[in-house]
Chain A
């Protein structure tokens, strides 16, 4: 059984996403509309990670020691970049990170069904619903920024 590995992977990604939302907010302080939303989404991601913690503990005893979760985890976001194009690239990274969370949620939802764990299923479905909005927001914000950053800015 490897459910705990995947749960840890999701937990890590969500924690990373929460930090990334905070960092992008700090890294682009002059973007007029980023503050409120990024802060809100950061809190959301952190809460999601917390909801998972009891399940990591629940499945730990049955989970075999390998493969290393570190090897599963690739850092997708490493600090903000300045300027309009930088903002677009940062949002792009966050989008990939959120996608990682999203797909992990979908896998764990299947796993939860296999393990007959309704509680876990409920939690990852809630996470999935919130992630869907996060992805939509990132896409919306990128669509706002892309034409100017790619075509106009020098």
Chain B
């Protein structure tokens, strides 16, 4: 993968920050900004640069039609148009009018995800007959799934015999429909997604600190900021945002830049201060930085007093981390830590991005929470230039989390809050008891564990290939291949997972179906259908709707539980579900998204504009009636529960979560399995070198899997002395 610096070397578009007047204007709500003169009221000074990638031999004149869509290779939500010629995708062009990317796209968008994988597309459903997969028609395939589902649901506890695992290709409408099928149709808590190994930590850290998921910042904060901190940055996962930062760096009054990464990456070379911390020691570094801010009195005492909880405990913990001690733990010079603290303590507008270098490392949620703490201590939230991004990896990650397809209840609701469950019961017109809220949602690895133990008998995997992407790969393969498990796989290709299935459903890919996507800064974008799916392949939404019809899911009055029939009506249903929640989308319509720019949530009909930044004025989503979770102990994942949470009297204040650095318990040779972050349940792939230094490791068996690639890209597997460990291999030692 070429680095973007060389990739777009001659095409930089340097720019400077807007003036004070524009910055004041940017802090106003959208409808007030509309009343201002256009030159100060709207927009961003980042120049438009429309990137176009067309197939060889094709020119813009050859294109029949450009169809609005969004990047499917990364999570930032880069708007683009798909070039169609003779019913085929022949290229892409960035949308210059869009607030997120101003026309830029990732070179990988050229191929989209559908064709990037190569291979032959699935065009007909398949069922297993006599041990072999054979083609069949849709009626046979869907009939078989519905038949088996009904059989399993027939006995007491039937809900617990079905599970769903979904992935990054589905659109918002499809994820919401899947969530309703799982949570109200089947009424099972066993629904999760590949977000568990992607952005579960981002969601967990945001919820822990601010009460609910959702990025507080806006990409326009990069325009206004005077310092940028990149915590575990990985360019490939946020390329267009990175370009925006580079453009600021080359323009007048550039922001200072800090990078934390064990590797000498392009990001690290660009930064003014690069902290090549020893892998797995992020919490120690963060504590030292917070220590410097507090000891040097360089925090916003008034903001902390008014808008946060837990300051005394945070002081007590970080007191033990003067730069000298952190320097020993992290293997970086204390002077570098002091330099970084100087920048963080003196800047006026700070943008932070947290990326997999933090998420896939030791103490993941705790480390990510310390970045939240930094922004809280300095009051760096909710105003232009003060932005925080707990970035996510997959295009569908954000809306999978919002809609409840990846574990949580839809609309960022709290399963422990009876009022939230009642809201859903009323919305769907079903009994309260039908919604699984008697226990926490089942996380992905637990779903596979139940399948292994034989209590989950039907597993429906959509748009994911867990055999190659989950840790413990050979065990996952064994589980999915077992005779007892009825496996449904819905995908574009005959993946490794699909080969084990009892029913394979051919799905439509990128550009082949309509719907919406929520990007990392809460921008909702519209995807229009550009081309027809191949053969008999169907949109995932149509597959789920067909299943719901066959299962005859009913509400309390006997009407169909799922009353929508296409993407737009599904979006309207989602809007009703999001109403009153932090991710309120009631002001967004397909018409509004068509033609112009994406719109950020929350967006209600009365505002007309999405809210650019969350938590302006230091009011957080932590009231017990609002919050998405009553919180966890960061070290063990123990749930605090409603009583304990209410006793803290959060009153809309944010939580400063303190955590001591703890060396990774990970090591090998002692039959120790993979380490898990206790709160987000995200598997941690990266092993700190010093904890395994005494154990000889052979790496020749490391397979070329997504797991290892992703882990390597994120946290420093290539750094000196850092050893990626193939996890499934080690399971056998247990």
Contact residues of A with B, CB < 8 Å?
29-33, 35-37, 39-41, 83-84, 133-134, 136-137, 139-140, 143-144, 146-148, 151-154
29 A–B contacts from the bound complex (CB under 8 Å): A29-B671, A30-B475, A30-B734, A32-B445, A32-B674, A33-B446, A33-B637, A33-B678, A35-B673, A36-B666, A37-B637, A40-B662, A84-B453, A133-B633, A136-B636, A136-B639, A136-B641, A139-B639, A140-B637, A140-B638, A140-B639, A143-B439, A143-B639, A144-B446, A146-B439, A147-B439, A152-B161, A153-B160, A154-B455
Query: Nearest chain-A residue to B452 (Cβ)?
Result: A30
Question: Which chain B residues numbered 660 to 715 have a C-beta less than 8 Å away from chain A?
Answer: 662, 665-666, 671-676, 678, 681
A107: min CB distance to chain B, Å = 24
Q: Which of A37, A83, A144 contacts B453 (CB 8 A)?
A: A83
Task: Knowing that A32-B448, A39-B665 touch, tell me 9 more A-B residue pairs with CB under 8 angstroms.
Answer: A30-B734, A32-B445, A33-B443, A35-B674, A35-B675, A40-B635, A136-B633, A143-B440, A152-B161
A36 x B675 contact (CB < 8 A): yes
Q: Which of A36, A133, A154 contacts B665 (CB 8 A)?
A: A36
Chain A residue numbers with a CB within 8 Å of B638 are 133, 136-137, 139-140
Contact residues of B with A, CB < 8 Å?
156-157, 159-161, 189, 438-440, 442-443, 445-446, 448-450, 452-455, 472, 475, 633, 635-641, 662, 665-666, 671-676, 678, 681, 734
Q: How many Å lie between the Cα of A41 and that of B157 in the bound state?
A: 33
In this complex, which of A30, A33, A139, A154 has the most chain B Cβ atoms within 10 angstroms of its Cβ? A33
B453 x A29 contact (CB < 8 A): no
B438 x A147 contact (CB < 8 A): yes
B161 x A40 contact (CB < 8 A): no
Q: How many Å lie between the Cα of A48 and that of B161 in the bound state?
A: 42
Chain A residue numbers with a CB within 8 Å of B440 are 140, 143-144
- Which 5 pairs of residues, A with B, have the shortest CB-CB distance? A152-B160, A32-B445, A136-B638, A137-B638, A151-B157
Q: Which of B633, B662, B666 contacts A137 (CB 8 A)?
A: B633
Chain B residue numbers with a CB within 8 Å of A143 are 439-440, 639
B631: min CB distance to chain A, Å = 11
Q: How many Å lie between the Cα of A133 and that of B455 in the bound state?
A: 30
Query: Nearest chain-B residue to A33 (Cβ)?
Result: B676
A94: min CB distance to chain B, Å = 13
| SS class, residues of chain B in contact with chain A | loop
A137 x B636 contact (CB < 8 A): yes
Chain B residue numbers with a CB within 8 Å of A151 are 156-157, 160
Q: How many Å lie between the Cα of A32 and that of B731 in the bound state?
A: 11
B457: min CB distance to chain A, Å = 9
Chain B residue numbers with a CB within 8 Å of A37 are 636-637, 678
Chain B residue numbers with a CB within 8 Å of A133 are 633, 635-636, 638
Q: How many Å lie between the Cα of A83 and that of B455 in the bound state?
A: 11
**A36-B676, A143-B439 given; A137·B637 CB < 8 A:** yes
Query: Nearest chain-A residue to B455 (Cβ)?
Result: A153
Query: Nearest chain-A residue to B673 (Cβ)?
Result: A35
A30 x B449 contact (CB < 8 A): yes
Chain B residue numbers with a CB within 8 Å of A40 are 635-636, 662, 665
Q: How many Å lie between the Cα of A143 and that of B637 in the bound state?
A: 13
B443: min CB distance to chain A, Å = 8
Query: Nearest chain-B residue to A83 (Cβ)?
Result: B453
Q: How many Å lie between the Cα of A30 and that of B671 in the bound state?
A: 11
A13: min CB distance to chain B, Å = 20
Q: How many Å lie between the Cα of A30 and that of B189 in the bound state?
A: 21
Q: How many Å lie between the Cα of A148 and that of B439 in the bound state?
A: 10
Chain B residue numbers with a CB within 8 Å of A30 are 449, 452, 475, 734
Q: How many Å lie between the Cα of A152 and that of B156 in the bound state?
A: 7
B455 x A148 contact (CB < 8 A): yes
Q: How many Å lie between the Cα of A152 and that of B162 in the bound state?
A: 10
A144 x B439 contact (CB < 8 A): yes
Chain B residue numbers with a CB within 8 Å of A35 are 665, 672-676
B257: min CB distance to chain A, Å = 34
B446 x A32 contact (CB < 8 A): yes
Query: Nearest chain-A residue to B440 (Cβ)?
Result: A144
Query: Nearest chain-B residue to A151 (Cβ)?
Result: B157
B221: min CB distance to chain A, Å = 35
Q: How many Å lie between the Cα of A140 and that of B637 in the bound state?
A: 8
B479: min CB distance to chain A, Å = 10
B439 x A84 contact (CB < 8 A): no
B346: min CB distance to chain A, Å = 37
Chain A residue numbers with a CB within 8 Å of B662 are 40
Q: Which of A33, A136, A137, A146 contacts B681 (CB 8 A)?
A: A33
**A32-B445, A136-B633, A152-B157 given; A84·B455 CB < 8 A:** yes
Query: Nearest chain-A residue to B362 (Cβ)?
Result: A36
A41 x B160 contact (CB < 8 A): no
A32 x B449 contact (CB < 8 A): yes
Q: How many Å lie between the Cα of A36 and that of B638 in the bound state?
A: 13
**A40-B635, A136-B633 given; A33·B445 CB < 8 A:** yes
Query: Nearest chain-B residue to A149 (Cβ)?
Result: B455
Query: Nearest chain-A residue to B733 (Cβ)?
Result: A29
A132: min CB distance to chain B, Å = 9
Chain A residue numbers with a CB within 8 Å of B641 are 136
Query: Nearest chain-A residue to B475 (Cβ)?
Result: A30
Chain B residue numbers with a CB within 8 Å of A137 are 633, 636-638
A154: min CB distance to chain B, Å = 7
**A147-B438, A148-B160 given; A32·B676 CB < 8 A:** yes
Q: How many Å lie between the Cα of A35 and that of B727 in the bound state?
A: 14
A125: min CB distance to chain B, Å = 15
Chain B residue numbers with a CB within 8 Å of A134 are 636
Q: How many Å lie between the Cα of A32 and that of B681 in the bound state?
A: 9
Chain A residue numbers with a CB within 8 Å of B674 are 32, 35
Q: How many Å lie between the Cα of A134 and that of B455 in the bound state?
A: 28
